[in-house]
Structure 1
Amino acid sequence: MMERQLLAFLFLAYLGAAFVWPSVRVWRRTGVNPYVLPSGDDAHGFVTSGFRLVLLALAAYVLAQAFWADADRLLGVLPWLAHPLVAAAGWAGLSASLAWTVAAQYQMGMSWRIGLDRKNRTELVTGGVFAWSRNPVFLGMRFSLLSLVLLRPNAVTVAAALAADVFIQFQVRLEEEFLAKQHGAAYADYMRTTRRWL
Protein backbone atom coordinates (compact mmCIF):
# COMPACT_ATOMS: atom_id res chain seq x y z
CA MET A 1 0.00 0.00 0.00
CA MET A 2 1.39 3.38 -0.97
CA GLU A 3 2.07 5.97 1.71
CA ARG A 4 -0.72 8.28 0.55
CA GLN A 5 -3.30 5.48 0.62
CA LEU A 6 -2.02 4.31 4.01
CA LEU A 7 -2.60 7.79 5.42
CA ALA A 8 -6.18 7.78 4.12
CA PHE A 9 -6.72 4.31 5.62
CA LEU A 10 -5.36 5.38 9.02
CA PHE A 11 -7.47 8.54 9.00
CA LEU A 12 -10.62 6.53 8.28
CA ALA A 13 -9.60 3.98 10.94
CA TYR A 14 -9.20 6.83 13.42
CA LEU A 15 -12.67 8.17 12.62
CA GLY A 16 -14.07 4.67 13.04
CA ALA A 17 -12.28 4.18 16.36
CA ALA A 18 -13.09 7.64 17.69
CA PHE A 19 -16.73 7.96 16.62
CA VAL A 20 -18.36 5.01 14.87
CA TRP A 21 -17.26 1.96 16.86
CA PRO A 22 -18.00 3.33 20.36
CA SER A 23 -21.33 4.78 19.22
CA VAL A 24 -22.48 1.48 17.72
CA ARG A 25 -21.30 -0.41 20.82
CA VAL A 26 -23.27 1.85 23.21
CA TRP A 27 -26.38 1.79 21.04
CA ARG A 28 -26.36 -2.02 20.67
CA ARG A 29 -25.83 -2.65 24.39
CA THR A 30 -28.11 0.03 25.83
CA GLY A 31 -30.50 1.10 23.07
CA VAL A 32 -29.39 4.69 23.77
CA ASN A 33 -28.28 6.86 20.86
CA PRO A 34 -24.94 8.28 22.06
CA TYR A 35 -24.93 10.96 19.35
CA VAL A 36 -26.44 13.95 21.15
CA LEU A 37 -24.85 16.93 19.43
CA PRO A 38 -27.27 19.83 18.96
CA SER A 39 -27.62 21.97 15.87
CA GLY A 40 -29.04 25.11 17.46
CA ASP A 41 -27.78 28.68 17.40
CA ASP A 42 -25.88 28.48 20.70
CA ALA A 43 -22.35 27.53 21.79
CA HIS A 44 -23.13 23.81 21.51
CA GLY A 45 -24.47 24.20 17.98
CA PHE A 46 -21.48 26.35 16.99
CA VAL A 47 -19.04 23.67 18.16
CA THR A 48 -21.05 20.93 16.43
CA SER A 49 -21.07 22.79 13.11
CA GLY A 50 -17.38 23.60 13.42
CA PHE A 51 -16.40 19.99 14.10
CA ARG A 52 -18.45 18.75 11.18
CA LEU A 53 -16.85 21.27 8.83
CA VAL A 54 -13.32 20.38 9.96
CA LEU A 55 -13.93 16.63 9.71
CA LEU A 56 -15.47 16.96 6.24
CA ALA A 57 -12.55 19.11 5.07
CA LEU A 58 -10.01 16.63 6.45
CA ALA A 59 -11.84 13.65 4.97
CA ALA A 60 -11.93 15.38 1.57
CA TYR A 61 -8.24 16.21 1.85
CA VAL A 62 -6.98 12.75 2.85
CA LEU A 63 -9.05 11.12 0.11
CA ALA A 64 -7.85 13.65 -2.47
CA GLN A 65 -4.20 13.18 -1.52
CA ALA A 66 -4.63 9.40 -1.63
CA PHE A 67 -5.53 9.45 -5.31
CA TRP A 68 -4.05 12.71 -6.57
CA ALA A 69 -0.28 12.93 -6.23
CA ASP A 70 -0.16 16.72 -6.81
CA ALA A 71 -2.67 17.59 -4.07
CA ASP A 72 -0.04 18.50 -1.49
CA ARG A 73 2.06 20.55 -3.92
CA LEU A 74 -0.97 22.70 -4.79
CA LEU A 75 -1.92 23.28 -1.14
CA GLY A 76 1.11 25.24 -0.01
CA VAL A 77 3.62 22.76 1.42
CA LEU A 78 5.67 24.09 4.35
CA PRO A 79 9.19 23.11 3.19
CA TRP A 80 10.83 23.57 6.61
CA LEU A 81 8.63 20.74 7.96
CA ALA A 82 8.89 18.48 4.90
CA HIS A 83 11.64 16.17 6.17
CA PRO A 84 11.77 12.36 6.45
CA LEU A 85 12.44 12.49 10.22
CA VAL A 86 9.47 14.80 10.76
CA ALA A 87 7.29 12.47 8.68
CA ALA A 88 8.50 9.48 10.72
CA ALA A 89 7.46 11.33 13.89
CA GLY A 90 4.08 11.95 12.25
CA TRP A 91 3.56 8.25 11.49
CA ALA A 92 4.54 7.31 15.05
CA GLY A 93 2.25 9.97 16.49
CA LEU A 94 -0.69 8.95 14.34
CA SER A 95 -0.28 5.29 15.33
CA ALA A 96 0.09 6.17 19.03
CA SER A 97 -2.93 8.48 19.00
CA LEU A 98 -5.04 5.75 17.38
CA ALA A 99 -4.03 3.24 20.08
CA TRP A 100 -4.61 5.84 22.84
CA THR A 101 -8.05 6.74 21.49
CA VAL A 102 -9.13 3.10 21.22
CA ALA A 103 -8.01 2.53 24.83
CA ALA A 104 -9.90 5.61 26.04
CA GLN A 105 -13.05 4.65 24.14
CA TYR A 106 -12.96 1.11 25.52
CA GLN A 107 -12.43 2.32 29.08
CA MET A 108 -15.25 4.85 28.77
CA GLY A 109 -17.63 1.95 28.20
CA MET A 110 -21.33 2.78 28.25
CA SER A 111 -20.64 6.35 29.37
CA TRP A 112 -19.47 7.23 25.84
CA ARG A 113 -21.38 10.10 24.25
CA ILE A 114 -20.82 12.52 21.41
CA GLY A 115 -22.14 15.66 23.05
CA LEU A 116 -24.04 16.26 26.27
CA ASP A 117 -26.69 13.65 27.11
CA ARG A 118 -29.18 15.45 29.36
CA LYS A 119 -31.69 12.58 29.26
CA ASN A 120 -29.58 9.57 30.23
CA ARG A 121 -27.27 9.90 33.23
CA THR A 122 -23.86 8.27 32.73
CA GLU A 123 -21.28 7.08 35.21
CA LEU A 124 -18.20 9.19 35.84
CA VAL A 125 -15.16 7.35 34.47
CA THR A 126 -11.93 8.11 36.36
CA GLY A 127 -9.81 4.97 35.88
CA GLY A 128 -7.39 3.81 33.19
CA VAL A 129 -6.23 6.61 30.92
CA PHE A 130 -8.87 8.83 32.57
CA ALA A 131 -6.67 8.79 35.68
CA TRP A 132 -4.01 10.63 33.64
CA SER A 133 -6.25 12.95 31.64
CA ARG A 134 -9.82 14.18 32.13
CA ASN A 135 -10.18 14.35 28.34
CA PRO A 136 -8.16 11.50 26.82
CA VAL A 137 -10.28 11.20 23.68
CA PHE A 138 -9.88 14.89 22.87
CA LEU A 139 -6.19 14.62 23.75
CA GLY A 140 -5.88 11.79 21.23
CA MET A 141 -7.66 13.91 18.63
CA ARG A 142 -5.31 16.83 19.21
CA PHE A 143 -2.28 14.57 18.93
CA SER A 144 -3.59 12.95 15.74
CA LEU A 145 -4.11 16.37 14.14
CA LEU A 146 -0.59 17.43 15.07
CA SER A 147 0.71 14.15 13.62
CA LEU A 148 -1.18 14.83 10.39
CA VAL A 149 0.52 18.24 10.15
CA LEU A 150 3.91 16.53 10.56
CA LEU A 151 3.03 14.02 7.85
CA ARG A 152 1.50 16.51 5.45
CA PRO A 153 2.72 20.00 6.33
CA ASN A 154 0.52 22.21 4.21
CA ALA A 155 -2.04 24.99 4.52
CA VAL A 156 -5.02 22.60 4.80
CA THR A 157 -3.66 20.41 7.60
CA VAL A 158 -2.37 23.39 9.61
CA ALA A 159 -5.67 25.29 9.24
CA ALA A 160 -7.68 22.18 10.14
CA ALA A 161 -5.54 21.45 13.20
CA LEU A 162 -5.83 25.04 14.46
CA ALA A 163 -9.58 25.23 13.83
CA ALA A 164 -10.23 21.83 15.41
CA ASP A 165 -8.22 22.81 18.47
CA VAL A 166 -10.41 25.89 18.99
CA PHE A 167 -13.56 23.76 18.80
CA ILE A 168 -12.04 21.13 21.11
CA GLN A 169 -11.24 23.80 23.70
CA PHE A 170 -14.85 25.03 23.57
CA GLN A 171 -16.32 21.53 23.78
CA VAL A 172 -14.11 20.46 26.68
CA ARG A 173 -15.25 23.41 28.74
CA LEU A 174 -18.91 22.82 27.89
CA GLU A 175 -18.55 19.17 28.90
CA GLU A 176 -16.72 20.01 32.12
CA GLU A 177 -19.48 22.43 33.13
CA PHE A 178 -22.08 19.76 32.38
CA LEU A 179 -20.23 17.01 34.27
CA ALA A 180 -19.70 19.29 37.26
CA LYS A 181 -23.47 19.80 37.49
CA GLN A 182 -24.25 16.13 36.92
CA HIS A 183 -21.66 14.61 39.29
CA GLY A 184 -21.17 17.40 41.82
CA ALA A 185 -18.53 16.71 44.46
CA ALA A 186 -17.25 13.57 42.70
CA TYR A 187 -16.34 15.60 39.62
CA ALA A 188 -14.88 18.41 41.72
CA ASP A 189 -12.58 15.85 43.39
CA TYR A 190 -11.68 14.43 39.99
CA MET A 191 -10.77 17.90 38.72
CA ARG A 192 -8.49 18.42 41.71
CA THR A 193 -6.60 15.16 41.18
CA THR A 194 -6.50 14.88 37.37
CA ARG A 195 -5.34 17.47 34.89
CA ARG A 196 -7.44 18.55 31.91
CA TRP A 197 -4.92 17.18 29.40
CA LEU A 198 -1.92 15.43 31.00
Structure 2
Amino acid sequence: MITVAYLLIVFVFRSIIVWRQSGVNPFVFSSTENAHDYLGFIYKMAVLFMAITIVCYSYLPAVYQFLNPIPFLLRDSIQMVGVALLLISFLWTLIAQVQMSDSWRIGIDYDEKTELVVKGIFAISRNPVFLGVVVFYIGIFLILPNTLSFTLVLVMFITVQVQVRLEEVYLLETHGEAYQAYKNSVRRWI
Protein backbone atom coordinates (compact mmCIF):
# COMPACT_ATOMS: atom_id res chain seq x y z
CA MET A 1 0.00 0.00 0.00
CA ILE A 2 2.87 2.37 0.80
CA THR A 3 4.32 1.73 -2.65
CA VAL A 4 1.07 2.54 -4.44
CA ALA A 5 0.63 5.72 -2.38
CA TYR A 6 4.24 6.73 -3.12
CA LEU A 7 3.83 6.27 -6.88
CA LEU A 8 0.42 7.95 -7.02
CA ILE A 9 1.34 10.98 -4.93
CA VAL A 10 4.91 11.52 -6.09
CA PHE A 11 4.46 10.86 -9.79
CA VAL A 12 0.80 10.81 -10.87
CA PHE A 13 -0.69 13.56 -8.66
CA ARG A 14 2.39 15.80 -8.94
CA SER A 15 2.24 15.43 -12.73
CA ILE A 16 -1.42 16.45 -12.75
CA ILE A 17 -0.72 19.45 -10.50
CA VAL A 18 2.18 20.67 -12.66
CA TRP A 19 0.15 20.13 -15.83
CA ARG A 20 -2.79 22.14 -14.44
CA GLN A 21 -0.57 24.95 -13.15
CA SER A 22 1.65 25.28 -16.20
CA GLY A 23 -0.33 23.72 -19.03
CA VAL A 24 2.72 21.52 -19.76
CA ASN A 25 2.74 17.74 -19.44
CA PRO A 26 5.70 17.05 -17.12
CA PHE A 27 6.01 13.46 -18.40
CA VAL A 28 8.57 13.94 -21.16
CA PHE A 29 9.69 10.42 -22.10
CA SER A 30 8.41 9.18 -25.46
CA SER A 31 9.03 6.05 -27.50
CA THR A 32 11.89 7.10 -29.76
CA GLU A 33 15.13 5.15 -30.00
CA ASN A 34 17.31 7.76 -28.27
CA ALA A 35 19.10 7.08 -24.97
CA HIS A 36 16.88 9.43 -22.96
CA ASP A 37 13.65 7.73 -23.99
CA TYR A 38 15.20 4.28 -23.48
CA LEU A 39 15.85 5.28 -19.86
CA GLY A 40 12.15 6.09 -19.57
CA PHE A 41 11.39 2.56 -20.75
CA ILE A 42 13.74 1.15 -18.11
CA TYR A 43 12.01 3.22 -15.40
CA LYS A 44 8.63 1.84 -16.47
CA MET A 45 9.94 -1.73 -16.43
CA ALA A 46 11.47 -1.22 -12.97
CA VAL A 47 8.08 -0.11 -11.62
CA LEU A 48 6.44 -3.12 -13.29
CA PHE A 49 8.94 -5.57 -11.78
CA MET A 50 8.67 -3.90 -8.39
CA ALA A 51 4.89 -4.39 -8.59
CA ILE A 52 5.40 -8.04 -9.56
CA THR A 53 7.65 -8.53 -6.52
CA ILE A 54 5.06 -7.00 -4.18
CA VAL A 55 2.13 -8.92 -5.69
CA CYS A 56 4.02 -12.22 -5.50
CA TYR A 57 4.98 -11.60 -1.88
CA SER A 58 1.47 -10.51 -0.89
CA TYR A 59 -0.71 -12.92 -2.85
CA LEU A 60 1.42 -15.66 -4.41
CA PRO A 61 3.89 -16.89 -1.78
CA ALA A 62 4.74 -20.04 -3.78
CA VAL A 63 5.69 -17.89 -6.78
CA TYR A 64 7.57 -15.45 -4.51
CA GLN A 65 9.96 -18.29 -3.62
CA PHE A 66 11.16 -18.27 -7.25
CA LEU A 67 12.46 -14.73 -6.64
CA ASN A 68 15.04 -16.26 -4.30
CA PRO A 69 14.37 -14.53 -0.98
CA ILE A 70 17.54 -13.72 0.95
CA PRO A 71 16.91 -15.38 4.33
CA PHE A 72 19.59 -13.64 6.42
CA LEU A 73 17.99 -10.26 5.59
CA LEU A 74 14.51 -11.33 6.66
CA ARG A 75 14.58 -9.61 10.04
CA ASP A 76 12.03 -7.25 11.54
CA SER A 77 14.73 -4.67 12.30
CA ILE A 78 15.91 -4.63 8.67
CA GLN A 79 12.34 -4.38 7.41
CA MET A 80 11.70 -1.44 9.77
CA VAL A 81 14.76 0.31 8.30
CA GLY A 82 13.22 -0.33 4.86
CA VAL A 83 9.90 1.20 5.92
CA ALA A 84 11.74 4.21 7.39
CA LEU A 85 13.63 4.65 4.10
CA LEU A 86 10.34 4.54 2.16
CA LEU A 87 8.86 7.25 4.37
CA ILE A 88 11.99 9.41 4.23
CA SER A 89 12.16 8.95 0.47
CA PHE A 90 8.52 9.91 0.10
CA LEU A 91 8.88 13.13 2.12
CA TRP A 92 12.23 14.05 0.56
CA THR A 93 10.96 13.50 -3.00
CA LEU A 94 7.69 15.31 -2.40
CA ILE A 95 9.43 18.33 -0.87
CA ALA A 96 11.84 18.46 -3.83
CA GLN A 97 8.99 18.29 -6.32
CA VAL A 98 7.02 21.03 -4.57
CA GLN A 99 10.12 23.23 -4.48
CA MET A 100 10.64 22.65 -8.21
CA SER A 101 7.05 23.75 -8.83
CA ASP A 102 6.43 24.17 -12.58
CA SER A 103 10.04 23.25 -13.40
CA TRP A 104 9.50 19.61 -12.41
CA ARG A 105 9.63 17.11 -15.28
CA ILE A 106 9.90 13.36 -15.63
CA GLY A 107 12.62 13.33 -18.26
CA ILE A 108 14.24 16.11 -20.26
CA ASP A 109 12.13 18.52 -22.31
CA TYR A 110 14.71 19.73 -24.84
CA ASP A 111 12.24 22.20 -26.35
CA GLU A 112 11.48 24.08 -23.14
CA LYS A 113 13.56 26.17 -20.77
CA THR A 114 12.48 25.85 -17.16
CA GLU A 115 13.68 27.86 -14.19
CA LEU A 116 16.88 26.61 -12.53
CA VAL A 117 15.95 25.69 -8.94
CA VAL A 118 18.84 26.11 -6.47
CA LYS A 119 17.12 26.83 -3.15
CA GLY A 120 15.59 24.67 -0.43
CA ILE A 121 16.49 21.02 -0.71
CA PHE A 122 18.33 21.84 -3.94
CA ALA A 123 20.93 23.71 -1.89
CA ILE A 124 21.83 20.30 -0.39
CA SER A 125 21.51 18.04 -3.44
CA ARG A 126 21.41 18.80 -7.17
CA ASN A 127 19.27 15.70 -7.73
CA PRO A 128 17.01 15.19 -4.73
CA VAL A 129 14.19 13.51 -6.67
CA PHE A 130 16.53 10.91 -8.14
CA LEU A 131 18.14 10.41 -4.74
CA GLY A 132 14.67 9.82 -3.31
CA VAL A 133 13.87 7.26 -6.01
CA VAL A 134 17.05 5.28 -5.36
CA VAL A 135 16.43 5.35 -1.59
CA PHE A 136 12.86 4.15 -2.29
CA TYR A 137 14.14 1.10 -4.19
CA ILE A 138 16.66 0.36 -1.41
CA GLY A 139 13.76 0.49 1.05
CA ILE A 140 11.74 -1.98 -1.03
CA PHE A 141 14.77 -4.29 -1.13
CA LEU A 142 15.14 -4.18 2.65
CA ILE A 143 11.45 -4.95 3.13
CA LEU A 144 11.37 -7.69 0.47
CA PRO A 145 14.96 -8.90 0.12
CA ASN A 146 15.19 -11.14 -2.92
CA THR A 147 17.24 -11.32 -6.10
CA LEU A 148 14.72 -9.36 -8.16
CA SER A 149 14.43 -6.47 -5.70
CA PHE A 150 18.24 -6.39 -5.39
CA THR A 151 18.57 -6.33 -9.18
CA LEU A 152 16.06 -3.46 -9.32
CA VAL A 153 18.22 -1.44 -6.91
CA LEU A 154 21.24 -1.96 -9.17
CA VAL A 155 19.29 -1.18 -12.36
CA MET A 156 17.79 1.98 -10.86
CA PHE A 157 21.13 3.15 -9.50
CA ILE A 158 22.83 2.76 -12.90
CA THR A 159 19.87 4.20 -14.83
CA VAL A 160 19.63 7.23 -12.55
CA GLN A 161 23.39 7.82 -12.88
CA VAL A 162 23.01 7.96 -16.68
CA GLN A 163 19.86 10.12 -16.53
CA VAL A 164 21.52 12.62 -14.19
CA ARG A 165 24.47 13.01 -16.53
CA LEU A 166 22.16 13.59 -19.51
CA GLU A 167 20.31 16.22 -17.50
CA GLU A 168 23.57 17.89 -16.46
CA VAL A 169 24.53 18.36 -20.12
CA TYR A 170 21.07 19.78 -20.87
CA LEU A 171 21.13 22.12 -17.86
CA LEU A 172 24.61 23.38 -18.71
CA GLU A 173 23.54 24.09 -22.30
CA THR A 174 20.31 25.74 -21.12
CA HIS A 175 21.49 27.74 -18.10
CA GLY A 176 25.20 28.15 -18.87
CA GLU A 177 27.28 29.84 -16.19
CA ALA A 178 24.45 29.86 -13.65
CA TYR A 179 24.27 26.06 -13.75
CA GLN A 180 28.06 25.70 -13.74
CA ALA A 181 28.27 27.84 -10.59
CA TYR A 182 25.49 25.77 -9.00
CA LYS A 183 27.20 22.54 -10.03
CA ASN A 184 30.46 23.76 -8.48
CA SER A 185 28.82 24.61 -5.17
CA VAL A 186 26.31 21.76 -4.60
CA ARG A 187 27.08 18.05 -4.68
CA ARG A 188 25.35 15.76 -7.17
CA TRP A 189 23.72 13.63 -4.47
CA ILE A 190 24.23 14.87 -0.91
Which one of 87, 96, 109 corresponds to residue 101 of structure 2? 109
Q: SS of the residue aligned with 1:35?
A: coil
- 1:2-151 correspondence to structure 2 within 5 Å: 9-151=1-143
Q: SS of the residue aligned with 2:73?
A: coil
2: CA distance, partners of 1:123 / 1:174: 17
Q: Match for residue 157 of structure 2?
A: 165
List alignment gaps of at least 5 residues for structure 1: 1-8
2: CA distance, partners of 1:108 / 1:153: 33
> Following superposition, which runs of at least 4 residues in structure 1 exceed 2 angstroms of deviation?
63-74
Please give the per-residue CA displacement for 1:58-105, whole angstroms capped at 9, x wherever unaligned. 122223323234444332111121111111111111111111111111
2: CA distance, partners of 1:115 / 1:93: 24
8 Å contact kept, 2:56–2:64 = no
Q: SS of the residue aligned with 1:115?
A: coil
Displacement of 1:174 in angstroms is 0.5
Q: Match for residue 153 of structure 1?
A: 145
2: CA distance, partners of 1:82 / 1:61: 15
List alignment gaps of at least 5 residues for structure 2: none
Q: TM-score, normalised by structure 1?
A: 0.91
The range that moved more, 84-93 or 37-46, is: 37-46
Displacement of 1:124 in angstroms is 0.5
Residue correspondences, number: 190
Q: SS of the residue aligned with 1:157?
A: helix
Displacement of 1:108 in angstroms is 0.8
The range that moved more, 38-47 or 174-183, is: 38-47
Which one of 169, 186, 189 corresponds to residue 181 of structure 2? 189
8 Å contact kept, 2:42–2:159 = yes
2: CA distance, partners of 1:154 / 1:60: 12
Q: Percent identity, aligned pairs only?
A: 38
Q: Match for residue 179 of structure 1?
A: 171
Distance 1:139 1:177, change over 3 A: same
8 Å contact kept, 2:78–2:142 = yes
Q: TM-score, normalised by structure 2?
A: 0.94
